[in-house]
A and B are shown apart, each in its own frame.
Chain A
Amino acid sequence: MTRTTARAARTVAIEEAGDDVLRLTLDAAGLSFTLDEARRIAELLGRDPTVVEAHIFNTMWSEHCSYKSSREVLKKYLPTEASNVVLGPGEDAGVVRFCEIDGTSYCIALAHESHNHPSQVVPNEGAATGIGGIVRDVYCMGADVIGVLDPLRFGDPVGRHAERTREIIHGVVEGIWQYGNALGVPNLGGDVYFDESFDDNCLVNVVAVGLVEEGDVVRSRAPAEAASVPYDLVLVGKPTDPSGFGGATFASRILDEEKAFDDKYAVQVPDPFLKRMLTVATQEVLKLLKARGVAVGYKDLGAGGIACVTSELGAAAGLGVRVDLSKVPVAVGGLLPEVIACSETQERYCLVVPRDVSAEVVRIFNEKFELPELCHGAAAVVVGEVIPEPRFILEHEGTVVCDASTEQITAGVCYERAQRRHERDVPEVGIPGDIDVADAVLRVLASPNIASREHIYRHYDSEVKGNTVVRPGEADACVVAPIPGERVGMAIAADGNPFLAALSPYEAGAAAVAEAVRNVAAVGAVPIALTDCLNFGNPEIAEVFQDFVDAVRGIGDAARGIGMKDSDEPIPVISGNVSFYNQSSAGNAVLPSPIVCAVGRVSDIAHHATLGMKSTGSSLLLVGERHGELGASAFMRTVAGGVGAGPPHVRADEERAMMAAVTDLIEAGLVRACHDISDGGMVVALAEMLLGSSPDTEIGADIGLGAVLPEGGAGVGGGVSGEGRRVAVDALAACELLFCENGGYLLEVDPADVERAIAVLAKRGAWHARIGRTTATSGLVVRADGIGDIVVSEGEMSGAWLNGATEVML
């Protein structure tokens, strides 16, 4: 690249400006950083920045890109190291070892992100580009994406903003299927909650999981060889347009109704068709480069666009880059250089390849796969080069529009935010003594937060790729056999009960880990890694920031406390995302929402469990003591009319023992069906197991409440059968046992295997009790002396559970 003229780039006058003038200058330029940050930039550069530089800093120093509020907290509390971790947080996706077959080490790449603001403003495109962004993060590690999950939080569909909320639900679900199904990546579940705190800020989180051979992992950096051998930067994908210009800063402030129209232009435009073609073509390119034995770098373009990707590719290697923005294919003429540099146009990647193969790489994209023919203006183009000196140089039409050290650009900023713990105002809620427990079961089953999600997941293609073993709705986690011809399975689940956070963000963080772990264990998978997405309000508010810190502490403590099976290592958190400013201009912040996804390994999918009851005459085992902590439970919110106090405490040692025992049992083939106990408590879990059985067989359940009492079971070394034990309880005690959301599992076991199963539970030190059996008469019977037997028919249960959520989404 040669410099043709010495035309001076436009600058932003910071150094000489007073506060008022500076604010006006920044506003006029569309720059959202603070006056203080502006002056730090000028100080860092030793001069006024050019307009392009100012926009780059504006993006790179946004909360979205820099994690300026959260970085130190995450570093302090989350365990990110373990012997199976290949790459922890820091790259586009974390990578963890999965299995070894014939000397080849296969790894799982995992990434988790939010697309909350865009989905609130334009639900379809927002949710679609959420998937688009997260799969790029996994593809660019050299991995093939084998699944996506969508944890969703919507407003109250029967509340004050019901109409808008239902529009958002419809749009988000549509965006997810339109993008994910077309891309050809199976949807492996997620979760859904409704609450009015999400009326003004829905949460659309998205997880992508990929498979990659350890030797094929591609780093998001220029290879070291680029210091001595010429390397080109190849930009490939959609032509750059102004869409998503300012997207990172949009994600880093609160939503303002009045600006909603402008904000729509900060949301990118999805194109799953082009993404599919880019994916197929890139796999061929990576195969070629591997065959040539050359080191390469590969990174997707997300927030901050070309400026962010090229500077980080250079900085991560201690090298510099020079990019000619005039060479970037554009969709419309007349784009300013700062727009070309920072727009978030979707479906783009940047490859760092040796100059002697770059022409061949470009040919594969443009000729073999005909990108320019398939999508107007799409192409692969060499836009720049790696330079040995660590400088970030952008040129545009012969003018140098940015010339800074890569370190200055990518170092970001860091804030120590104030924290202040606030007293939570929790009104006392009483449970009426004459409560009809059978009616309460039905009301909880019919509540939108508990009822079946079938209406949603039947929009999603969960079977494309042909590797799916367990689909959404069939078990607590989805399972795929990602290596065709091999029996090893990957299980994945995402969780995060926001109602717990109303009482204790710490417990909510810990519970998200515990539930995600239980969900993968319940299909027979041993957890190997976690990823998190942390959704909160404005971090500049001390109470909000305290909530964030507490939730992160909870995640870290649970990841360490539960730990990996038969190991003293934590379950590593290998990637994650923080989403702040989920707060409207009216001041409504979302319930603190730490969401955690766990990945597990099933060593042989011949032995996995689903939740539907399989046979009549089976024994039912309860694993996990009922501590009766009803706070924030679905029962309290639905039946008692308030959140109540005392959320279920996560007892990491109990969770650890249960996880080990349950995975042992499933692996040994001793379990017919397994379901974890979480939202709704054990009675909801039991109902779901009955409703999940094959329609061919009539199966009911008959349990004794006396057996569920803490003293009905056995801990270490025990093996007490509580079956048939009759203990008088009052209605309140019954509700505590049946509806408390303390972690646990229900197992359906062949009576011939019960003694062996109990021996395993006892050996692992997991509390357990025989609580009853499956019967040939459908429906649920809970024997309870004192209040009379609780009887619920199959028809009542299925009516409540199948329609409860569907009705509010139509």
Chain B
Amino acid sequence: MSESGPNIAVLRFPGMNCEEETRRSVLATGASCDIFMWNGPTSTLADYDGYVLPGGFSYQDRVRAGAIAAKDRVVDCLFEQAERGKPVIGICNGAQILIEAGMVPGIRAGSVEMGLAHNIMPDRDGYYTRWTHVVVAHERCCATAALKPAETVPIPVAHAEGRFVTRDEGLVDRLFEAGQVVLTYGAPDGTPADGFPDNPNGSSRNIAGISNPAGNVVAMMPHPERSSWMFQLPDDLPGEWGRRRRHARGGDALFGPGPGLGVMSSLVRFIENNGKGA
């Protein structure tokens, strides 16, 4: 870890499109950050303290969202780094890649145990964008370490395939019991979402983010880089953050940190807590 904080790599797979703002969000925590090409020298990937897989449409969502990128050699390398305890956060398409690579939920690391299926929404199909109220269901993972238990964090979603599903009926229960369901969709007051649209995609038991058993790999659908500054929040947002956003109008507070920055800060906190190259 350098003096200025940890060094994070944002991985760019062909077709991704959130690399730049994800990098800006990581930089806002004080960490260093590079964008790392999918065909870059894998030998240098190990030099980083943590990794973020951003959103987009890697390989055009061919076969299934995330399926092709999950087979890239850079993901093998990422897998090794994660096994050594380094944190990895996959956001949206990045989450789809981690699921397809078997890194999340990772009970049997490397085998695909879940899927991110197409959204199920009343009277509509395809892509859906909306601000959601994400509730911290477990705070010991690398995406929530700097957040409070049961804290409500408004973050927008934007996806067509974000519904966590599994064929193994008991798996979801086991994930909850093991503390691997780290983020869920809630109502603005933090109570569990009661269907659409607070749960924007029909995800099983409102799951918004899942970690591996060790908590160092997290797949989450909401986009924290779009909620990292107050000005990014809609001013009709309900809840406490919405009230703060409306009060920030006209002043410097509008350029202060937003709720989603807590996810990136968690990544840094997790590295600090666990030491470099744990």
Contact = CB atoms under 8 A, between A and B. Distances in A.
A465 B238 contact: no
Interface of B: 14-15, 17-18, 20-21, 24-25, 37, 39, 55-57, 59-61, 123-124, 126-130, 156, 158, 188, 223, 225-226, 228, 231-232, 234-239, 242-243, 246, 249-252, 254-255
A466 B236 contact: no
A506 interface: no
B14 A463 contact: no
Chain A interface residue bracket vs B: 35 or more
Interface in A360-416: 368-370, 374
Contacts of B126: 174, 177, 459
B30 to A, nearest CB: 15
Most buried by A among B126, B128, B130, B242: B126
A806 B20 CA distance: 35
A177 B60 CA distance: 14
A182 B226 contact: no
Given A458-B130, A696-B243, A466 B235 contact: no
A338 B70 CA distance: 42
B24 A461 contact: no
Given A469-B232, A606-B254, A464 B15 contact: no
Interface in A246-278: 271-273, 276-277
A550 interface: no
B128 A606 contact: no
A272 B61 CA distance: 11
A806 B126 CA distance: 15
7 contacts: A272-B60, A276-B14, A277-B14, A459-B124, A459-B129, A464-B55, A468-B232
Contacts, number: 124
B15 A277 contact: yes
Contact of A461 (B14, B37, B158, B255): B158
A273 B14 contact: yes
Interface in A173-212: 174, 177-178, 181-184
A641 to B, nearest CB: 29
Interface in A452-491: 455, 458-469, 471, 474, 481, 484, 487
B252 A461 contact: no
Nearest to A371: B14
Interface in A639-680: 669
A545 B163 CA distance: 52
Nearest to B197: A458
A462 B237 CA distance: 16
Nearest to A463: B226
Contacts of B236: 474, 610, 612, 692-695
Given A273-B14, A466-B228, A487-B255, A182 B60 contact: yes
B127 A181 contact: yes
Interface of A: 174, 177-178, 181-184, 271-273, 276-277, 368-370, 374, 455, 458-469, 471, 474, 481, 484, 487, 605-607, 610, 612, 614, 669, 692-696, 806, 810
A758 B14 CA distance: 55
Most buried by A among B126, B128, B236: B236
B238 A696 contact: yes
A466 B20 CA distance: 9
A694 B238 contact: yes
A271 B62 CA distance: 12
B129 A606 contact: no
Contacts of A368: 37
Contact of A276 (B15, B237, B243): B15
A473 to B, nearest CB: 9
B25 A605 contact: no
A187 to B, nearest CB: 9
A459 B237 contact: no
A713 to B, nearest CB: 28
Nearest to A612: B236
A694 B18 contact: no
Given A182-B60, A183-B17, A696-B238, A463 B246 contact: no
A607 B250 contact: yes
Nearest to A806: B123
A277 B38 CA distance: 12
Nearest to B229: A466
B15 A182 contact: yes
Contacts of B37: 368
A374 B14 contact: yes
Given A606-B254, A614-B246, A695-B238, A459 B128 contact: yes
Contacts of B14: 273, 276-277, 369-370, 374
A474 B18 contact: no
Contact of A606 (B21, B39, B234, B251): B251
B127 A177 contact: yes
- Per CB-CB distance, the 7 closest pairs between chain A and chain B, nearest first, are A184-B17, A466-B21, A273-B60, A182-B57, A694-B236, A463-B226, A612-B236
B17 A458 contact: no
A273 B13 CA distance: 11
A380 to B, nearest CB: 16
